């Protein structure tokens, strides 16, 4: 039964991917009928672009799935972060660093100059977060998610000047403010 399910899923995935590619090629070939929007899917960038009847491209963000973003380690020196129970002392240092280095652009629950960070640990890998803190310029040039964020907020994230241990402290603080997965 598992083998059949796998084969069926594999067929479905190929079929869906083929449909998206055909829709994308079809949208480029001709404008849609009046009032109809044709989706052009861009799975890597996390957006869906619609070609309207007036041949105008409208791009909207997709719902961010943890499956896509949780695999993104980012670009930079951090390749693996081992997380254990929250270290309250480290989180306390992280809060001070966050307050002095991040709050001019970020809030926890609302957009400011940059995205809200209160739930970032549920949306991104620890490696991605630390690489963004340590290596923002390269991340925005080479990482698809960071490129999308830069495009969405229209402002590059400045280099923080923080050291790896300080970035780890900020990550620990962000772990303390994030809602637990599945709770609201």
User: How does pLDDT run across 58-78, given as a tens digit for each residue?
Assistant: 555 444 444 345 588 999 999
Do 75 and 145 lie in one domain? The reply is yes
Number of folded domains that form the chain: 2
Asked whether residue 37 is domain-assigned, the answer is: yes
Give, in order, the Cα–Cα distances in Å from 112 to each of 41, 47, 56, 155.
28, 21, 28, 11
In which domain, by residue range, is 165 found?
A: 66-177
Is the domain of 158 the same as that of 84?
A: yes
In a domain, 51, yes or no: yes
pLDDT reported for residue 58: 54
Domain-located, residue 83:
yes
- Same domain (yes/no): 74, 136: yes
Q: Domain for residue 168, yes or no?
A: yes
Q: Are residues 124 and 51 in the same domain?
A: no
Contacts of 179 (CB under 8 A, 6+ apart): 118, 119, 122
Sign of the alpha-carbon dihedral angle for 51, 57, 60, 65: positive
Instruction: Identify whether 184 is part of a domain.
Output: no
Could you tell me if 104 and 169 lie in one domain?
A: yes
**Percentage of the chain lying above the pLDDT 70 cut:** 60
Q: What would the mean pLDDT of 40-57 be, rounded to a whole number?
A: 51
Q: Are residues 7 and 55 in the same domain?
A: yes
Strand pairing partners for 49?
A: 40, 59
- Beta bridge pairs of residue 42: 47
Q: How much is the pLDDT for 29? A: 45
Is 183 inside a domain boundary? no
163 and 106 in a common domain: yes
On the question of pLDDT at 27 being above 80, the answer is no
* Domain co-membership, 23 together with 104: no
Identify whether 112 is part of a domain: yes
Q: Using alpha carbons only, give the angle 172, 110, 171 rounded to the nearest 5 degrees.
A: 10
* pLDDT tens track for 73-130: 999 999 999 999 999 999 999 999 999 999 999 999 999 999 999 999 999 999 999 9
Between 39 and 110, whose confidence is greater?
A: 110
Instruction: Report helix, strand or coil for 70.
Output: coil
Kindly state whether residue 39 falls inside one of the protein's structural domains. Answer: yes
In terms of domains, do 26 and 90 share one?
Answer: no
Instruction: Please indicate, yes or no, whether residues 141 and 72 belong to a single structural domain of this protein.
Output: yes
């Amino acid at each position: 039964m598992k083998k059949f399910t796998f084969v069926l899923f594999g067929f479905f995935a190929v079929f869906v991917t083929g449909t998206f590619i055909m829709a994308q090629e079809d949208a480029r070939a001709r404008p849609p009928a009046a009032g109809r929007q044709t989706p052009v899917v861009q799975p890597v960038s996390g957006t869906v672009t619609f070609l309207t009847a007036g041949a105008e491209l409208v791009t909207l963000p997709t719902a961010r799935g943890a499956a896509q973003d949780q695999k993104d380690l980012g670009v930079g020196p951090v390749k693996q972060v081992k997380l254990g129970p929250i270290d309250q002392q480290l989180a306390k240092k992280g809060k001070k660093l966050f307050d002095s280095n991040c709050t001019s652009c970020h809030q926890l629950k609302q957009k400011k100059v940059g995205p809200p960070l209160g739930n970032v640990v549920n949306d991104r890998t620890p490696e991605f977060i630390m690489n963004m803190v340590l290596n923002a310029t390269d991340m925005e040039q080479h990482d698809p998610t960071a490129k999308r964020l830069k495009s969405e907020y229209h402002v590059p994230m400045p280099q923080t000047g923080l050291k790896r241990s300080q970035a780890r402290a900020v990550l620990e603080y962000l772990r303390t403010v994030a809602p637990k997965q599945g709770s609201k």
